[in-house]
Structure 1
Amino acid sequence: MSKLKAISDLHLASPANREALHDLPVFENDWLIVAGDVAERFDHIRLAFETLAGKFAKVFWVPGNHDLWSIPEPGGGPALTGETRYRALVDCARDYGIVTPEDPFQTWGGPGGPHVIAPLFLLYDYSFRPEHIERDEVIGWAREQGAVCADELYLSPAPWVSRDDWCSRRCEEAERRLGDIPAGAATILVNHYPLRSDLIHIPRAPRFTPWCGTRRTEDWHRRFNAKVVISGHLHTRRTDWRDGSRFEEVSLGYPRQWDQSKGMAFYLRDILPE
C-alpha cells in the first residue's frame, strides 16, 4: 500500500544527518513531502534532491530559512541571495522531478485521498510577537534573551525591501493559487513555518517566535479546507488539531535532537493513510 510521508529540517551540514540520508531505505511506492531546511550549502541540497528522488515515487519540497541563507559555496563561488537563490533552488529541484511551490499542485489519489497537495513558500513577517512589542522593537526584545535568528545575518530578501515585504508578496500569490482549487476539494498545506502562532511550543527560546510565521495564515486551514497542515522549523515533533484539521510538525533536527540508532526512516511521518 502506498503512503504519503513527510519530514523536514534534515540539516545536512551534519555528517551524521548526511549518513542517515544515505542509509534511508527505498520507498518506491510512496510520496515524500520535505518541509524545508534541507541544508545551507547548495551542494548538500542537491545531494538531498538527488538521493530522495531516487528513493521515493514522488517528492515535494518547500524552502526553509536555512535553504535560503546566502553563504559562500565550496570553491569560492559567489553566494546567491534572496529571490535569486530561491529560483536557483527551484530549478535544482526540478532537475530531479521534485515538485516545488512554483509548480502546479498535485493530487494524492492513494489511500486516504484524494487530497490536493499545496507546497507553499510564505516566509515570515515578525507578526508572531506579543502585541505590546512594535515591529521595530523585535530585534532588541529578542536580543535580551539571545534569541535573534541568524536570518538577520544570512537571509537576504533581495530584491525586496524586507523579509516582511517578501512574505507579503508570497502570501498574496499563495492565496490566489489556493483560491483556484475547486470548492470542496480537500487539501494538504505544506509550509516550512507553522501557519498558526498557537502551534509554537519552544519554551527554551520563547522570543524566537517573530521568525516563525505570519498571522495572515492563522485561518488558512479553514479557508482552504485543509485536512492536514505540514510544517517544520521548530524542531518539536508533534501532532495538533484545530477546527478538525490535523497539524503535523515533522522536523528531524540536529543530531542531538533525534536517536541516530533508529535511522532517518523512523522519523518519516505517515500523513496518509492515517
Structure 2
Amino acid sequence: MDPLLATATAADAPSEATRPRPPAEPAVEPARLWAIGDLHLSYKGNREELEKLEPKPNDGLIICGDVGETVEHLRMCFSAAKACFKQLWWVPGNHELFTMPSSNGKRGEDKYMECVKIAREYGVLTPEDDFVVWEGDGGPCVIAPIFTLYDYSFRPDHVALEDALEWAAEENILATDEHLLHNDPYASRIEWCNALVERAQAKLSEAVMQNPGTRLVIINHWPLREDLVNIPLVPRFVIWCGTKQTEDWHNTYNAKVVVSGHLHVRRTDWIDDTRFEEVSLGYPKQWHECQERGMDLNDLLREILPGSDPPPPGAPTTLWRRFGKGTTKTHPIFLKGAKR
C-alpha cells in the first residue's frame, strides 16, 4: 500500500476515544418469586383477568391451588402463566380434586394424578416432583410444594370428630367437597390426609437434611395453622381448612415463608421467624372492590421472595391485604390477630 494512502487511512479511522462503543447490555433485575391462588376459572370474570397477566420473564410464579374444576381450567392457567414466567409451581386445591361430569369418572387420587400429568406437560413443578433451590432474589431457598388435604381437626375442643359435620350444619354450612371430592382409593378423606401428611413429612425432612442451613418456602393450598383461619362470614367452614398435624411445620422444617390459599382472605402474618402468606384471588364478587379501584390480577400477585420485611418488635403481626398491597394510611396497616 502507498505509505501516504496508509497514513490517510489511519487518520480517517476512529481513535479509541471516538470509536463508537457497542450498546450496553440491558441490566437484568434479580429474579423474584410471586404467588397467586384460588383463580377459580369457572367464572368468566376471572378467566378474563387471566388474559391480562403481564410478562415477568425472569421471575417465578406459584399457583396455589383452586385453579378450577376441570383439566381445561388447568391448561388455560398453565398456558397463560408459562408465557409470562420463567418457572411455575402448582399445588392442588380442593376444586381441582372435584369429580365433575367432564372428569371421565376420575376420582380421588386418580383425579389428582391427572392434574399432575397436565402440569408436567407445561413444565410446571408439583408436589410429585423434586424440590428445587431458588437462587434468585431472597434466596437461596428450597421451594417445597406439598399436598396435605384436611382431616376435620380444625374444630373446637368440645366438638367430637364424629359430630364435626353436624356442628357445621347447625350454621347451614356444608362444603361442596362432601359431594364432589372423593377419597378413592382411601377409605376416607381423613385416611387420605394422613397418608399425604406422612409423605410430605418425609420429603420435607429429606430437603432439610440435604440442604443444611438453607431455608424452605413451603407451599400448600390449605393453611398449616388453625389460628390463621379467619373467615367470619362462615366460621364453621374451618373444619375443611387443614389439619392440626401441620401446626409447627414452619419451625420443624426451617421455613422462611409458608404460602397458602383456600380462605379467600388475603393476609400476611409473621409467626416465630416465618412469614405466612395467604395469596388467594377468590370469586369475582370477593375482589370486585379491587377492580373498582382500577386494580387487576397483576396487582394481586403476592411477592414471596424477597417479600415483605417483618414488622418492628412489639408491632402487630398481621397485615391484611384486602386491596393487594395492604391498607392505606387512612387505615391501620397492621391489625392484631389472635394470640399465638
Structure 2 matches for 1:100-119, cutoff 5 A?
Answer: 100-119=126-145
Residue of 241, 247, 265 corresponding to 2:298: 265
Structure 2 matches for 1:225-244, cutoff 5 A?
Answer: 225-244=254-273
* Secondary structure of 1:262 counterpart: coil
* Secondary structure of 2:62 counterpart: strand
Taking the aligned partners of 1:137 and 1:114, their CA distance within structure 2 comes to: 45
Taking the aligned partners of 2:78 and 2:97, their CA distance within structure 1 comes to: 15
- Using CA pairs under 8 Å that are at least 6 residues apart, name the structure with larger relative contact order, 1 or 2: 1
Structure 2 matches for 1:108-147, cutoff 5 A?
Answer: 108-147=134-173
Q: Deviations over 1:114-156 (max 9, x none)?
A: 0001000100000001111111101111011012111000000
Structure 2 matches for 1:122-271, cutoff 5 A?
Answer: 122-181=148-207, 182-258=211-287, 259-260=290-291, 261-271=294-304
Q: Deviations over 1:161-185 (max 9, x none)?
A: 1110111000100100111123322
TM-score by length of 1: 0.97
Q: Is the 8 A contact 2:53 2:80 kept in 1?
A: no
Root-mean-square deviation over aligned CA pairs: 0.9
Kindly indicate whether residue 59 of structure 2 is the aligned counterpart of residue 30 of structure 1: yes
Residue of 21, 30, 37 corresponding to 2:50: 21
* Greater alpha carbon shift after TM alignment, 105-114 vs 177-186: 177-186
Taking the aligned partners of 1:84 and 1:186, their CA distance within structure 2 comes to: 32
Indicate the structure (1 or 2) with the bigger Cα radius of gyration: 2
Give the percent of matched residue pairs that are identical in Structure 1 and Structure 2.
Answer: 49
Q: Which amino acid in the other structure matches residue 35 of structure 2?
A: A
Kindly indicate whether residue 69 of structure 2 is the aligned counterpart of residue 43 of structure 1: no
* Greater alpha carbon shift after TM alignment, 233-242 vs 182-191: 182-191
Q: Which amino acid in the other structure matches residue 71 of structure 2?
A: F
Q: 1:54, CA displacement in angstroms?
A: 1.4
Q: 1:105, CA displacement in angstroms?
A: 0.2
Q: Deviations over 1:23-54 (max 9, x none)?
A: 11111111000110000122111111111111
Q: Which ranges of structure 2 fall in alignment gaps of 5 or more residues?
A: 1-28, 308-340
Q: 1:78, CA displacement in angstroms?
A: 2.1
Taking the aligned partners of 1:148 and 1:246, their CA distance within structure 2 comes to: 31
Q: List 4+ stretches of structure 1 deviating above 6 A.
A: none
* Greater alpha carbon shift after TM alignment, 88-97 vs 126-135: 126-135
Q: State the partner residue of 2:32.
A: 3
Q: State the partner residue of 1:81.
A: 107
TM-score by length of 2: 0.78
* Greater alpha carbon shift after TM alignment, 227-236 vs 138-147: 138-147
Q: Is the 8 A contact 2:281 2:300 kept in 1?
A: yes
